[in-house]
């Protein structure tokens, strides 16, 4: 059985983008070569990516070209090759086709389809996109959070989860500090507490 792991860059106040449409590409992110190499190493360990439509379309525009761009830094080309080669699931009710080893789900019972995907997959499944991660969290299917906290307070913007109003217990599995000041925290999702 696979493990759904929500990977996300976040500010100290747990926001993932400040301006609608920046999709995590804001100047507040401190992604240097050390952190990028860590991202590459984590991605190489994955069995699959599960990505929401908006997130997928950002990746689809950037990484296939980067993989073949001889003028791009080695680390960027490397991530591009990893993203292209890794199997992907695009969660979308509007897309009907996608390249780069991508399967589309989202018509009908999306949570049921994701639950079956988890049962049929061995290994780590990266979840990219707040909407998909929020749906998995509410359904009790999200196994881990892998958060990269950047030393910034945004004050406003999109939160890490959409509309979560129930406490959830977590267990810290791993933490690391990068020279850029970014800290990584890996948490196991233990349980969602019942409403009182």
Tens of pLDDT, residues 31-59:
999 999 999 999 999 999 999 998 899 89
Question: Across residues 80-94, what is the average pLDDT?
Answer: 95
* pTM score, whole prediction: 0.91
- Which sign does the torsion angle of CA 171, 140, 143, 135 carry? negative
183-192 vs 144-150, strand pairing mode:
antiparallel
> Is the pLDDT at 23 greater than 60, yes or no?
no
19 vs 33: which has the higher pLDDT: 33
Would you list the DSSP string of the chain? -EEEEEEEEEETTSEEESSTT-TT--TT----HHHHHHHHHHHHTEEEEEEEHHHHHHHHHHHHHHHT-TTS-HHHHHHHHHHHHS-EEEE-SS-----SSEEEE-SS-HHHHHHHHHHH--EEEEEESHHHHHHHHHTT---EEEEEEES---SSSEESSSS--S-EEEEEEEEEE-TTS-EEEEEEEEEEPPP-
Q: State the virtual CA torsion across 164, 170, 175, 178 in degrees, nearest 10.
A: 10
Q: How confident is the model at residue 77 (pLDDT cuts 50, 70, 90)?
A: very high
- Architecture per CATH, domain 2-192, reads as 3-Layer(aba) Sandwich (3.40)
Looking at every residue in the chain, the average pLDDT score rounds to 91
Q: How confident is the model at residue 196 (pLDDT cuts 50, 70, 90)?
A: very low
Question: Across residues 86-102, what is the average pLDDT?
Answer: 94
Q: How confident is the model at residue 107 (pLDDT cuts 50, 70, 90)?
A: confident
Supply the pLDDT for residue 105.
94
Question: Across residues 137-150, what is the average pLDDT?
Answer: 96
- Bridge partners (DSSP) of residue 17 are 158
Supply the pLDDT for residue 185.
98
Percentage of residues of the chain with pLDDT beyond 70 = 94
Asked if 126 and 83 touch (Cβ cutoff 8 Å), the reply is no
Supply the pLDDT for residue 25.
62
Supply the pLDDT for residue 183.
98
Asked if 93 and 106 touch (Cβ cutoff 8 Å), the reply is yes
Supply the pLDDT for residue 26.
78
Q: Where are the domains of the chain?
A: 2-192
Supply the pLDDT for residue 91.
96
Supply the pLDDT for residue 18.
76
> Is the pLDDT at 72 greater than 60, yes or no?
yes
């Amino acid at each position: 059985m696979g493990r759904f792991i929500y990977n996300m860059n976040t500010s100290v106040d747990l926001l993932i983008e400040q301006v609608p449409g920046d999709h995590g590409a804001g100047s507040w992110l401190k992604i240097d070569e050390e952190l990028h190499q860590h991202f590459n190493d984590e991605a190489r360990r994955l069995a699959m990516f599960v990505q929401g439509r908006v997130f997928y379309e950002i990746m689809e525009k950037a990484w296939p070209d980067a993989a073949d761009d001889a003028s791009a830094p080695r680390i960027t080309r490397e991530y591009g090759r990893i993203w292209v080669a890794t199997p992907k699931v695009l969660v979308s009710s509007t897309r009907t086709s996608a390249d780069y080893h991508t399967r589309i789900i989202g018509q009908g019972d999306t949570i049921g389809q994701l639950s079956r995907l988890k049962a049929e997959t061995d290994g780590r499944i990266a979840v990219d996109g707040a909407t998909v991660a929020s749906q998995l969290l509410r359904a009790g299917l999200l196994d881990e959070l892998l958060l990269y906290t950047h030393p910034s307070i945004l004050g406003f913007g999109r939160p890490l989860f959409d509309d979560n109003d129930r406490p959830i217990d977590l267990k810290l599995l791993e933490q690391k500090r990068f020279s850029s000041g970014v800290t990584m925290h890996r948490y196991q999702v233990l349980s969602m507490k019942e409403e009182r």
